[in-house]
Amino acid sequence: MILTPESLVTIAMSNPVNVQIAARLPSLGLSQCMLTAGCLFQAVWNHHSNLPPAAGVKDYDVFYFDTDLSREAENEVINETRHLFLDLDVKVDIKSQARVHLWYGERFGRAYPQLETTMDGIDRYLVAGTCIGLDPVTGEVYAPYGLEDAGQGGGFAPIPRISSLTSSISATHHDALPRCIYHIYVQTLWMYLRGKWY
Protein backbone atom coordinates (compact mmCIF):
# COMPACT_ATOMS: atom_id res chain seq x y z
CA MET A 1 0.00 0.00 0.00
CA ILE A 2 1.04 3.62 -0.49
CA LEU A 3 1.31 5.00 3.00
CA THR A 4 0.70 8.72 3.39
CA PRO A 5 0.94 10.74 6.60
CA GLU A 6 -2.85 10.85 6.69
CA SER A 7 -3.29 7.10 6.28
CA LEU A 8 -0.55 6.44 8.83
CA VAL A 9 -2.38 8.53 11.42
CA THR A 10 -5.69 6.85 10.59
CA ILE A 11 -4.20 3.37 11.01
CA ALA A 12 -2.22 4.28 14.12
CA MET A 13 -5.32 5.78 15.72
CA SER A 14 -7.24 2.56 15.18
CA ASN A 15 -5.37 1.56 18.34
CA PRO A 16 -7.43 3.19 21.13
CA VAL A 17 -4.35 3.40 23.35
CA ASN A 18 -2.66 5.66 20.80
CA VAL A 19 -5.78 7.83 20.77
CA GLN A 20 -5.70 8.25 24.53
CA ILE A 21 -1.97 8.91 24.70
CA ALA A 22 -2.08 11.47 21.89
CA ALA A 23 -5.05 13.21 23.52
CA ARG A 24 -3.45 13.44 26.96
CA LEU A 25 0.20 14.17 26.13
CA PRO A 26 -0.30 17.91 25.50
CA SER A 27 -1.41 18.34 29.11
CA LEU A 28 2.17 17.63 30.20
CA GLY A 29 3.35 20.76 28.42
CA LEU A 30 6.51 19.12 27.08
CA SER A 31 8.67 20.68 24.37
CA GLN A 32 8.98 18.85 21.03
CA CYS A 33 6.85 15.99 22.36
CA MET A 34 6.27 13.11 19.94
CA LEU A 35 4.71 9.67 20.03
CA THR A 36 7.13 7.45 18.15
CA ALA A 37 8.35 4.04 17.02
CA GLY A 38 6.54 0.74 17.51
CA CYS A 39 3.10 1.98 18.45
CA LEU A 40 2.99 3.70 15.03
CA PHE A 41 4.71 1.38 12.56
CA GLN A 42 3.47 -1.78 14.30
CA ALA A 43 -0.11 -0.63 13.71
CA VAL A 44 0.66 -0.49 9.97
CA TRP A 45 2.24 -3.96 10.00
CA ASN A 46 -0.75 -5.28 11.92
CA HIS A 47 -3.09 -3.68 9.40
CA HIS A 48 -1.31 -5.60 6.63
CA SER A 49 -1.54 -8.83 8.63
CA ASN A 50 -5.18 -8.47 9.72
CA LEU A 51 -4.10 -8.37 13.35
CA PRO A 52 -5.45 -6.12 16.11
CA PRO A 53 -3.73 -2.70 15.93
CA ALA A 54 -2.08 -3.13 19.35
CA ALA A 55 -0.74 -6.63 18.67
CA GLY A 56 2.99 -6.90 19.35
CA VAL A 57 3.31 -3.42 20.84
CA LYS A 58 5.62 -3.88 23.81
CA ASP A 59 5.47 -0.27 24.94
CA TYR A 60 4.50 3.20 23.81
CA ASP A 61 7.51 5.44 23.23
CA VAL A 62 7.36 9.18 23.77
CA PHE A 63 10.24 11.55 23.06
CA TYR A 64 10.52 15.13 24.25
CA PHE A 65 13.28 17.71 24.64
CA ASP A 66 14.08 19.46 27.90
CA THR A 67 17.01 21.87 28.29
CA ASP A 68 17.11 20.92 31.98
CA LEU A 69 19.54 18.00 31.79
CA SER A 70 19.13 16.88 35.38
CA ARG A 71 18.00 13.35 36.16
CA GLU A 72 15.56 14.83 38.65
CA ALA A 73 13.75 16.80 35.94
CA GLU A 74 13.34 13.73 33.74
CA ASN A 75 12.23 11.58 36.67
CA GLU A 76 9.56 14.15 37.47
CA VAL A 77 8.22 13.87 33.91
CA ILE A 78 8.38 10.06 34.09
CA ASN A 79 6.33 10.08 37.29
CA GLU A 80 3.79 12.52 35.87
CA THR A 81 3.48 10.36 32.76
CA ARG A 82 3.02 7.19 34.77
CA HIS A 83 0.20 8.83 36.74
CA LEU A 84 -1.42 10.30 33.61
CA PHE A 85 -1.67 6.94 31.84
CA LEU A 86 -2.10 4.62 34.80
CA ASP A 87 -5.62 3.60 33.79
CA LEU A 88 -4.48 2.42 30.35
CA ASP A 89 -2.53 -0.50 31.81
CA VAL A 90 0.29 -0.16 29.27
CA LYS A 91 3.94 0.85 29.52
CA VAL A 92 4.58 4.38 28.32
CA ASP A 93 8.34 4.87 27.96
CA ILE A 94 9.13 8.58 27.94
CA LYS A 95 12.63 10.02 27.52
CA SER A 96 14.14 13.46 27.10
CA GLN A 97 16.33 13.29 24.04
CA ALA A 98 18.41 16.17 25.40
CA ARG A 99 20.05 13.96 28.01
CA VAL A 100 20.38 10.57 26.29
CA HIS A 101 24.11 11.14 25.80
CA LEU A 102 24.55 11.40 29.56
CA TRP A 103 23.53 7.81 30.30
CA TYR A 104 23.79 5.93 27.01
CA GLY A 105 27.49 5.10 27.22
CA GLU A 106 27.22 3.57 30.67
CA ARG A 107 24.18 1.54 29.71
CA PHE A 108 25.19 0.32 26.24
CA GLY A 109 28.98 0.63 26.24
CA ARG A 110 29.39 3.13 23.42
CA ALA A 111 29.40 6.89 23.02
CA TYR A 112 26.27 8.73 21.94
CA PRO A 113 26.29 12.28 20.53
CA GLN A 114 24.48 15.09 22.24
CA LEU A 115 21.22 15.60 20.37
CA GLU A 116 19.82 18.98 19.42
CA THR A 117 16.16 18.06 18.92
CA THR A 118 13.63 15.31 19.50
CA MET A 119 13.75 14.60 15.78
CA ASP A 120 17.45 13.78 16.07
CA GLY A 121 16.49 10.88 18.34
CA ILE A 122 13.96 9.56 15.84
CA ASP A 123 16.55 9.82 13.07
CA ARG A 124 18.76 7.36 14.93
CA TYR A 125 16.50 4.32 14.88
CA LEU A 126 18.26 1.45 13.13
CA VAL A 127 15.64 0.67 10.48
CA ALA A 128 14.51 3.46 8.17
CA GLY A 129 10.88 2.32 8.16
CA THR A 130 10.66 2.68 11.94
CA CYS A 131 11.86 6.29 11.99
CA ILE A 132 8.46 7.86 12.53
CA GLY A 133 7.14 10.40 14.99
CA LEU A 134 3.72 11.93 15.55
CA ASP A 135 3.24 15.37 17.08
CA PRO A 136 0.12 15.01 19.27
CA VAL A 137 -0.54 18.76 19.21
CA THR A 138 -0.37 19.44 15.47
CA GLY A 139 -1.00 15.92 14.18
CA GLU A 140 2.04 16.26 11.93
CA VAL A 141 4.04 13.16 11.04
CA TYR A 142 7.83 13.23 11.07
CA ALA A 143 9.38 10.57 8.82
CA PRO A 144 12.93 11.53 7.78
CA TYR A 145 13.32 8.54 5.44
CA GLY A 146 9.77 8.60 4.13
CA LEU A 147 6.95 6.12 4.72
CA GLU A 148 7.59 3.68 1.88
CA ASP A 149 9.26 1.04 4.07
CA ALA A 150 6.60 1.27 6.76
CA GLY A 151 3.96 0.98 4.06
CA GLN A 152 5.48 -2.30 2.93
CA GLY A 153 4.13 -3.78 6.14
CA GLY A 154 7.45 -5.04 7.45
CA GLY A 155 7.11 -8.60 6.21
CA PHE A 156 6.32 -7.41 2.69
CA ALA A 157 9.89 -6.13 2.35
CA PRO A 158 12.29 -9.10 2.52
CA ILE A 159 15.13 -6.92 3.76
CA PRO A 160 14.56 -3.69 5.70
CA ARG A 161 16.38 -0.63 4.38
CA ILE A 162 18.85 0.31 7.07
CA SER A 163 19.27 4.02 7.69
CA SER A 164 22.59 5.78 7.21
CA LEU A 165 23.07 5.68 10.96
CA THR A 166 23.59 1.93 11.22
CA SER A 167 26.62 2.36 13.41
CA SER A 168 24.46 4.04 16.03
CA ILE A 169 22.06 2.14 18.24
CA SER A 170 18.76 3.72 19.16
CA ALA A 171 18.54 4.78 22.76
CA THR A 172 15.13 3.26 23.33
CA HIS A 173 15.30 0.31 20.92
CA HIS A 174 18.71 -1.22 21.39
CA ASP A 175 17.27 -4.56 20.26
CA ALA A 176 14.94 -3.21 17.55
CA LEU A 177 16.77 -4.74 14.60
CA PRO A 178 16.57 -8.38 15.78
CA ARG A 179 12.86 -7.93 16.52
CA CYS A 180 12.25 -6.42 13.08
CA ILE A 181 14.18 -9.19 11.34
CA TYR A 182 12.16 -11.79 13.26
CA HIS A 183 8.91 -10.09 12.28
CA ILE A 184 9.97 -9.98 8.63
CA TYR A 185 10.94 -13.66 8.68
CA VAL A 186 7.65 -14.75 10.22
CA GLN A 187 5.56 -12.60 7.89
CA THR A 188 7.45 -13.74 4.80
CA LEU A 189 7.09 -17.41 5.75
CA TRP A 190 3.38 -16.92 6.43
CA MET A 191 2.81 -15.34 3.01
CA TYR A 192 4.84 -18.04 1.27
CA LEU A 193 2.81 -20.80 2.88
CA ARG A 194 -0.40 -19.09 1.81
CA GLY A 195 0.88 -18.62 -1.73
CA LYS A 196 0.81 -14.83 -1.53
CA TRP A 197 4.48 -14.13 -2.05
CA TYR A 198 5.26 -12.34 -5.30
Host domain of residue 14: 5-193
With respect to residue 88, please indicate whether it lies within any of the assigned structural domains.
yes
With respect to residue 142, please indicate whether it lies within any of the assigned structural domains.
yes
With respect to residue 16, please indicate whether it lies within any of the assigned structural domains.
yes
Would you give per-residue pLDDT tens digits along the chain (198 residues)?
Answer: 789 999 999 999 999 999 999 999 999 999 999 999 999 999 998 998 899 999 999 999 999 999 999 999 999 999 999 999 999 999 999 999 999 999 999 998 999 999 999 999 999 988 888 899 999 999 999 999 999 888 875 543 433 444 444 444 444 444 444 445 445 544 444 444 434 333
With respect to residue 161, please indicate whether it lies within any of the assigned structural domains.
yes
The set of residues, in sequence order, having a beta carbon less than 8 Å from that of 16 and lying 6+ positions away, is none
Which of 53, 47, 52, 17 lies closest to 35, judged by CA? 17
Q: Work out how many domains the chain is built from and give that number.
A: 1
With respect to residue 198, please indicate whether it lies within any of the assigned structural domains.
no
**What pLDDT, on a 0 to 100 scale, did the predictor assign at position 149?**
85
Do the strands 34-36 and 141-142 form a parallel or antiparallel pair, or are they unpaired?
A: unpaired
With respect to residue 64, please indicate whether it lies within any of the assigned structural domains.
yes
With respect to residue 128, please indicate whether it lies within any of the assigned structural domains.
yes
